[in-house]
Amino acid sequence: MFSGSIPALVTPFRDGAFDADAFARLVDWQVREGSSALVPCGTTGESPTLGFDEHYRVIDCCIEAAAGRVPVIAGCGSNDTATAVRHMRHAQAAGATAALVVAPYYNRPSQAGMIAHFKALADASDLPIVVYNVPGRTVADISAETLCELAEIPSVVAIKDASGDLARVTMHRAGAGKDFCQLSGNDDLWLAHAAMGGMGCISVTANVAPRQCADFAAACAAGDWTRALALHDRLFDLHRAMFADTSPGPAKYALSRVHDWFSPELRLPVIPANADARAAVDAALSAAGVI
């Protein structure tokens, strides 16, 4: 259903408030630079710090600015199933293409609890679901066996896998079918993930270098592994720099270097990228030809 370079969009703030004008400009730039879909209100979008009204305004703004040019996969996850249902219902009414739903964090549900959570969401809304597995943040890991069971739910159409376990690409393909959409959640593993059957990446780096990431995705899709490797090498330091300090601090700093209209402001408890991270970002932006 989805493929290519899909930025997990940052949420711009200015003076403590959502900067809708900057966000609309960011969305338009992403589309013009070749991003194949957009994800507002994911982890990179600082969704845990957004109130309900803000969360929905970010989704609405993304859909309006995208204007039907690319799909919008709205972040709808929560560790509270009822809240995730509420998010999904708003996203569907607003015109989102799908919902990105992270594994319930902090609660540490069992695998059976994971299945019950996603089944409840599917029963409450017919919006397509992209399952998001990121055990490094949630602690709760969606096993390959559980994902394959979830794939039997008609509205569960894809996974964003940030487990770091590349063997799961093959395990998911074997258990969920080759047509089940697998998206990498790790920029630095995107090349390997694609070579094993992945269809794209929900990317942090694409916030900053959307054209280069789109070109890389196109090379992977075409099976041009020589070009893909060259682009991977060119982007690799930038992939790493995006996590040189707590995300999305480095990504927001990088965007402020690329665009004078973008503020690197974050919300507590995340603070601005430290000096070493900023230096790593500056060097990586130059090496990748972004600035």
User: Which tens digits make up the pLDDT trace of 106-147?
Assistant: 999 999 999 999 999 999 999 999 999 999 999 999 999 999
Please report which confidence band the pLDDT of residue 1 belongs to, taking 50, 70 and 90 as the band edges. confident
Q: Which helix (H) or strand (E) holds 18?
A: strand 17-18
Say if residues 258 and 285 touch (Cβ distance below 8 Å): yes
CATH number for the domain whose boundaries are 4-222: 3.20.20.70
> Which tops the pLDDT comparison, 1 or 158?
158
Give the active site residues: 132, 160
Please give the share of the chain, as a percent, with pLDDT higher than 90. 99
Q: How far apart are CA 158 and CA 98, in angstroms?
A: 10
Exposure on the CB side of residue 275, measured as CA atoms within 13 A: 0
User: How confident is the model at residue 174, as a pLDDT?
Assistant: 97
CA R_g for the chain: 18
Q: What is the mean pLDDT of residues 246-275?
A: 98
Cβ contacts of 225 within 8 Å, gap of 6 or more: 195, 219
Q: Is the pTM of this model over 0.95?
A: yes
Q: Which amino acid is at 173?
A: R
